[in-house]
Structure 1
Amino acid sequence: MDYATLKALKPSEFTEAADGYRSVSSMADHAYASAEQQITTRLRSGLSGKAVDAAVEQLQLLAKNFHYTQVECGLAATSLNALAASLTTAKSKLDGAVADAEAAKFSVGADGSVSYPPAGEEKDGKLPEGGTVSGSAKGKPSGNVIDPAKDAGDLSAALERQAANIHPNPNFGKAVEIANRIAQAVAEATEADTQWAPKLRKLKADDDFLVSESDWADVAADSGEVRAGAKDYLAHIKPPPPKGSDPELNAEWWKGLSDREREAYITLQPASVGAMNGLPADARDSANRTVLAETHGLYRTELNGIPKEPEPKYHYVQRGRAWMREETDAWSAWNDKHGDRKAHLEDRLFGMETIQKRFDESAERGLPQAYLLGFDAEANNDGRVILANGNPDTADHTAVFVPGTKTTLGSIEDEAAKSDALWRESSAMAPGKSVSTITWFDYDAPNTIVSEATQDKWAQQGAPTLRQFLDGTETAHRSATGDSSHTTLMGHSYGSTLIGDTAKYRSEYADTWDDPLPVDDVVVAGSPGMQADHAADLGFKPKHVWAMEGGGDDNFVTGGGRFAGLGDNWTIPTDESFGANKMRSDSPGHGNFWDEEDGKASLSLRNQAAVIAGRYDQVDLERAAPH
């Protein structure tokens, strides 16, 4: 970029273009929600058959296209805004330099050079002659001492300053300074143009109507490039609080941003925004859906690039008189290089597709809109998934369900199904009230029962994260409604141990030592222990702590926990001495507390749902907590 171009430049044209892309992104976002939720719900509510199934399938594809359009146009808008910000700064510097030149009666040439008139002390009846100078982007018009320790550029600037000081025309030094400022402004504008032009050219879709996995992988790459280039732009926006900060600080920061600034953060930092406790569920969901789509595209593209498994896998070789089946050399070599990675990618992709399936089938399964409040394919070794049925920011009743041992992103389907069952039954028990059930999986769960789940360290490590999420859910609800939701914290198996450690964990941002969990009720099923002798030791009111046990292998888990000491003094929540309400259960095993048969909830499920809905009178108790 040269002086004349920058002089004529109107940065507002870039911001206007950014506003156009932003509008398209916003419209695509609304269309995405309509195609995925509203229209499909109406179709499913009154119609059925192959034609409806085909229509819904096409709507889901259309929704994905709208999502892609939303993200790409958001990147284009943010890129243009970042470019405009850099050009505005450079243009402001140029205009200031030109104004100073005009005030000094200097003239600026078409090439950015500065001409100055004769001035100074007369010699032989003549004023020192005027002249023309060209600036340097490295010019430094202050100071007058040469320092040999400086680099060549600094030495050159110092020589330039000394020349200005001894020049007979006092206008010379001023002209050099202005010319340098002009050159610096042009250099900054050129740098911005060089940085952003190729990025903007890359932000274009294929010339087809199908958004493929490779398209989403490209979005991830585009996001990385735009993010790297927009550091200065984001620096002008109020930076977010440090990771792990008080959710109330996060909420206040978010409220203080304009719509454009919020969209910039969601576009450029979706993973960070999606993980910030205290932010609205809508914002976290939007950010995490982008992370999900980009990650799925990257993983699927990588999986597709793995060479096909050689065939046959086995061959038979003679060993003495016997024929033995052995792996072929080709298959063994392939497996050594690709086997583990292929299995890992398939596991994570299955989990991601489970989440997407929940989005796609909500209308068909009679569930409310889903909100992805947290997602990371690799966090905590096993991945992170926080998936809500219904909006917890506005729900009258909210349940946070914490799964136990062996949970991973790849197995999240089973855990989310439990949350779905809890929503169906609790919603039926709370007519006229809104319910949100949340599957919270954001800790490194033990992978084995005997060697790992008998230790408390996994729960200790996960406690701060769960506490921050609960505080964030409370903050977001109060921000949206001015009040709290009736909240039930639920733990299955080792998840209950995590709840126990969370209750004992004091938030680093708490302003008093009295720091109880922001929950009204606690429900545990198949608990091996909560690291306490009594419910009251955890700061809970015993009458609002509810426990149940099952038959079969549940006895092995609870008994094993008692023996391992996950409950102080070998105490588990269903013991009378623990002081909790013991609910009746018809669960035949450790994983059957959420069973439904022919649309009818089991007794175990009904009891849990009654607590979620605040219908304590409908809980079937084997033993009530002491008052």
Structure 2
Amino acid sequence: MSSSAFARLRATDPARWVDASHGWRSRAGAAGLWSAELQQHGARLASRWTGAAALAALARLTRLRRGLEVFRLACYRADQALSEFAGALTRARALLATALAAARRAGTSFDDEGNLRDGPTAQAAATEAATALAAALSLATTADGVAARRLAELSAAIGPLIDARSGRTGEGWLAAPPPSAGASPPSCTASPAEVRAWWEALTPAQRLWSAATEPSAIATLDGLPAADRDLANRLLLEQQRAELDRALAKAHGGERKRLHELRDGLATLTDRLADDAGPRAYLLRLDLAGEGRVVVALGDPDRADHVLTHVPGMTAGLASYDGELRHAERVAAQAGRVAPAAATSAVLWLDYDAPDFVDEAAGTGRAEAGAARLRRFQDGLDAAHEGGRAHRTVLGHSYGSLVVGRAAVAPELAADDVIFVGSPGVGVNSAGALSVPTGHVWSSTSRSDIIQYAALAPRGLAADLAVTATVPGLGAVLAFGRPEDDLWFGRNPSDPAFGARVFASQPDAGHLGYWDRGRPALDAITNITVGRDVTPR
């Protein structure tokens, strides 16, 4: 047992590392404001001044802005490393608390070397204490090494971009682009594995330069590390917000309302990206077309042992994404409590056009389109993951369960478990029709969830209407007062005949309460996410 590791873990305060990561994030934000000011100055200069001197001045402003963008990305990279380090230390401290509590139950304690003192009165508790402490020290030591390596890689990436001749900061400190930095990314038909291979062939300096100068080219590439996509998308965020503001100033009527809703959603997203209260957010996708699409990971999925992909359903969009993100975050937070030895990342995946109205939700077209994108995203998670493969869970809620179901019909969906919650049907009538083994297909529908009363199959609706007509008064209660198993998109996956493993949810969950804290549905979803078995209902 390492006495120094034990002493450091007892003394460490993860909040200090959270503060440090937030400081780097704040510096990146300040540099973004400076960069935006330079862009405005350049635009005004170009509109009023021409000639050789004007071109030279514009070139200098461009060089300054490029330097600021590289600086911003370096700050964000440090923020990522320190945020993940703080998260790992928090989990290690939780394991340490478990070890200390178990030692007390065993009637003993740890000495300054991290060894149990003689004379435990309860051997089982003493074994638990020793095991928890070993896990805590292993986690903390590994996290320390990973953070040191990531910061060293950052230094190696920045080094080639610094012009050693200048010997100063400010204009002139940024060197010429590294060789091959402008190499074209793979074609749109390249697989996520091919995308990752292309990215890995670049040097750290080339990757940083590409993110700083061509963020739109790499921001959406499945197969790239989440940390790199986050850098590119954060750079694009200010640009997209400015474009949205310009469009809003000219819009009228329904278009103005749509843009206002997008602007509000973008403001909420910006606040969450700057927040240090929960797991660090990684912005993996942002699209302002239509009602907006967004993919946000809470915790780095490339370094997580367990990854949950949460697919929302009807009416989901950028304006309302925050509620869905809170659902995913509750799973991540609880996973950290019940399985602190392993890292868990929860991803809100809203990269499809979710239906807003009943007529839109009646068809499978949007689910089919979303399923193809979801399959590629999951393949990208696999391609980008560090070390051994993570345990992967994909959850679909409401219409999102149809998206997941359509994705799971095709062979080899990159998922170990799929969960259907509040489903109107998943496009098939049995778990055996999915590519995921039946023992890893899960479902739950609360007794109070309106979906099982409203999303009836046409033949089931006809039968219920017949009962209503046959038995006046009481017939409507008999027909529509009970949950249906034959739903619009197939058999209810929570019907035992479907073949999924059905877990309990609280009777009063309705359609949105599956993530209520302290209730059985959230407990089950979390346990499935971290690979624990769940007792069927």
Q: Tell me, yes or no, if the aligned pair for 2:181 and 2:210 is still in contact at 8 Å.
A: no
Are 2:453 and 1:556 equivalent residues in the alignment?
yes
Partner of 2:30: 65
Structural mapping, 1:306-321, within 5 Å? none
Q: Tell me, yes or no, if the aligned pair for 1:532 and 1:568 is still in contact at 8 Å.
A: no
1:531-582 deviations in whole A, cap 9, x for unaligned? Answer: 1121121112111111000214233355469969996984121111210001
The separation in 2 between residues aligned to 1:389 and 1:454, in whole angstroms, is: 32
The separation in 1 between residues aligned to 2:282 and 2:489, in whole angstroms, is: 40
Partner residue of 1:487 out of 366, 376, 392: 392
CA separation of 1:271 and 1:38: change in aligned 2, threshold 3 A? farther
Partner of 1:360: 274
The separation in 1 between residues aligned to 2:381 and 2:490, in whole angstroms, is: 33
Secondary structure at the aligned position of 1:531 is classed as: coil
1:260 is displaced (CA, Å) by 3.4
Output the amino acid matched with 1:580.
A
Output the amino acid matched with 1:529.
G
1:285-343 deviations in whole A, cap 9, x for unaligned? Answer: 0001111122123323554x46xxxxxxxxxxxxxxxxxxxxxxxxxxxxxx6233331
Partner of 2:288: 377
Are 2:399 and 1:399 equivalent residues in the alignment?
no
Output the amino acid matched with 2:511.
H
Partner of 2:295: 386
Partner of 1:325: none
The separation in 1 between residues aligned to 2:38 and 2:458, in whole angstroms, is: 53
The separation in 2 between residues aligned to 1:553 and 1:357, in whole angstroms, is: 33
Structural mapping, 1:115-514, within 5 Å? 198-201=58-61, 237-300=182-245, 302-303=247-248, 305=249, 338-363=252-277, 367-378=278-289, 381-448=290-357, 450-477=358-385, 480-481=386-387, 483-505=388-410
Output the amino acid matched with 1:502.
A
Partner of 1:540: 436
Structural mapping, 1:16-35, within 5 Å? none
1:159-192 deviations in whole A, cap 9, x for unaligned? Answer: xxxxxxxxxxxxxxxxxxxxxxxxxxxxxxxx99
Q: Tell me, yes or no, if the aligned pair for 1:456 and 1:566 is still in contact at 8 Å.
A: no
Partner residue of 1:519 out of 415, 432, 437: 415
The separation in 2 between residues aligned to 1:261 and 1:59, in whole angstroms, is: 22
- Which sections of structure 2, spanning at least 5 residues, go unmatched? 1-13, 40-50, 66-176, 462-484
Output the amino acid matched with 2:422.
G
The separation in 1 between residues aligned to 2:498 and 2:221, in whole angstroms, is: 35
Q: Tell me, yes or no, if the aligned pair for 1:528 and 1:560 is still in contact at 8 Å.
A: no
The separation in 2 between residues aligned to 1:410 and 1:427, in whole angstroms, is: 28
The alignment covers a number of residue pairs equal to 377
CA separation of 1:549 and 1:287: change in aligned 2, threshold 3 A? same
- Which sections of structure 1, spanning at least 5 residues, go unmatched? 1-36, 45-55, 75-190, 206-231, 307-336, 506-514, 623-627
CA separation of 1:547 and 1:269: change in aligned 2, threshold 3 A? same
Q: Tell me, yes or no, if the aligned pair for 2:282 and 2:298 is still in contact at 8 Å.
A: yes
Output the amino acid matched with 1:66.
A
Partner residue of 1:588 out of 485, 502, 509: 509
Q: Tell me, yes or no, if the aligned pair for 1:390 and 1:436 is still in contact at 8 Å.
A: yes
1:504 is displaced (CA, Å) by 2.7
Q: Tell me, yes or no, if the aligned pair for 1:528 and 1:561 is still in contact at 8 Å.
A: no
1:46-70 deviations in whole A, cap 9, x for unaligned? Answer: xxxxxxxxxx8x9976541134568
CA separation of 1:504 and 1:552: change in aligned 2, threshold 3 A? closer
1:236 is displaced (CA, Å) by 7.5
Please say which structure displays the higher CA radius of gyration: 1
Q: TM-score, length-normalised on structure 1?
A: 0.55
Secondary structure at the aligned position of 2:354 is classed as: coil
Output the amino acid matched with 1:612.
T
* Structure that is richer in helix per residue: 2
Secondary structure at the aligned position of 2:513 is classed as: coil
The separation in 1 between residues aligned to 2:273 and 2:235, in whole angstroms, is: 13
Partner of 2:536: 621
The separation in 1 between residues aligned to 2:229 and 2:260, in whole angstroms, is: 26
For the aligned residue pairs, the C-alpha RMSD in angstroms reads 3.4
Q: Tell me, yes or no, if the aligned pair for 1:531 and 1:567 is still in contact at 8 Å.
A: no
The separation in 2 between residues aligned to 1:362 and 1:554, in whole angstroms, is: 36
Are 2:491 and 1:609 equivalent residues in the alignment?
no
Secondary structure at the aligned position of 1:589 is classed as: coil
Identity rate of aligned residues, in percent? 30
